[in-house]
Amino acid sequence: MQASFIDVKNLTVAYGSKIIQQNLTFSVKEKDIFVIMGGSGCGKSSLLRVLMGLLKPCAGQVFYRGVDFWGNEKVQQDILRSIGVMFQGGALWTSRTLAENIAIPLEQFTNLNARQIYEVARYKLAQVGLSGFEEYYPSEISGGMRKRAGIARALALDPDFVFLDEPSAGLDPVSSARLDELILQLRDSLGMTIIIVTHELASIFAVANNAVWLDAQSKTMLAEGNPHELLKHGPEAVRKFLKREAG
């Protein structure tokens, strides 16, 4: 049986008194490609913020490998060191080359010297298919390549798992499909656990083996499971959402 990486228990996500989602209970298993899905504004990014330590839950708990993530600040910092994040848009520094972008977390969190940092940056760029682009600036490469570079930066500190917020947003279908291939490759070759926020159906069906579906109206999750299974046997609202562009 796969071990649980993240266990979310009876979680309520809120901004002040404004409840966004409540009673969320689900698990992300080791080597899952887990998608947080749902209609616009249902709270996908807000849930991600709770899982990344940026938004304190109003109620409930999040466990990383059985450890209470919000229980203690020191514990949370240690857990965060094992997480790589690519924010929406890739969020690269435009005034820095790709290698320099990847160097940022390495300079901040390791004792490596400049030469070693450059070697790691080169290796990480190679892992996402960007060998030879070390000295390019973000404005000199395509949108799909920028996303890849964002993923390379998320991988810089050899995380156990990676969060990707809307990775294929703004990409054409071909670049988006290539990014999906890269995501599958990271799971298969590096054994990573990957959590993705997306509403791109093609990506959901291409990469996810597990997912949770958040409902904006009832402010809770309506389903958890493999998207292909949910398409066949999920609640009506979820099937409708998954059939939207699939058919």
Ligand X SMILES: Nc1ncnc2c1ncn2[C@@H]1O[C@H](COP(=O)(O)OP(=O)(O)OP(=O)(O)O)[C@@H](O)[C@H]1O
Binding site for ligand X (CB under 6 A): 15, 18, 20, 38, 40-46, 199
CB of 14 to ligand X, least distance (A): 9
Closer residue to ligand X (CB): 100 or 215: 215
* Rounded least distance, CB 200 to ligand X, Å: 11
Q: For ligand X, give the closer residue by CB, 15 or 109.
A: 15
Q: Do 21 and 220 touch, CB atoms closer than 8 A?
A: yes
Residue 39: CB minimum distance to ligand X, A: 7
Nearest 5°: the CA angle 136, 157, 68 is 140
Least distance between ligand X and beta carbon 40 (Å): 4
Q: For the CA atoms of 227, 229, 234, 236, what is the dihedral angle to 10 degrees?
A: 80
Nearest to ligand X of 157, 169 (CB atom): 169
The CA distance from 83 to 75, in Å, is: 13
Provide the minimum distance between the beta carbon of 163 and ligand X in the complex, in angstroms, as a whole number: 13
Between CA 169 and CA 177 the distance in angstroms is 12
According to DSSP, the residues that pair with 27 across neighbouring strands are: 7
Report the alpha-carbon distance of residue 64 to residue 5 in Å, rounded.
6
Q: Which is nearer to ligand X, 25 or 45 (CB)?
A: 45
Contacts of 243 (CB under 8 A, 6+ apart): 231
Q: How many CB atoms lie within 10 A of CB 157?
A: 17
Q: Which is nearer to ligand X, 17 or 139 (CB)?
A: 17
